Amino acid sequence: MNKTNLSFDINVFVSSKQLYRIEVTENYEGDKFHCVVFDSSVLKEEHIDTQGFETEKEVFEFVRGLHND
């Protein structure tokens, strides 16, 4: 049986002028969870950050941190 790696997007609505999209990919580029953050509040999405994490908890803390910035 083949192992399936997860891949999904998280949209973080901070305000009407601040919206992020985070692409989360499991087991990518040496990271257990690889997160790429885009600023979706501009007309053409802009890459603003890339982070790697070892646990789901770290991913959710990172997402919560974007909301609090």
Going by C-beta distance under 8 Å and a sequence separation of 6 or more, which residues neighbour residue 61?
none
Going by C-beta distance under 8 Å and a sequence separation of 6 or more, which residues neighbour residue 24?
6, 7, 8, 9, 10, 33, 34, 35, 59
17 CA to centre of own chain:
19
What pLDDT shows up at residue 39? 95
State the pLDDT confidence band at 1, using cuts at 50, 70 and 90. low
State the pLDDT confidence band at 3, using cuts at 50, 70 and 90. confident
What pLDDT shows up at residue 67? 77
Length of the chain: 69
pLDDT per residue over 4-17, tens digit each? 789 999 999 988 88
Tell me if 12 sits within 8 A of 23, measured CB to CB: no
pLDDT per residue over 22-67, tens digit each? 999 999 999 999 999 999 998 899 999 999 999 999 999 999 998 7
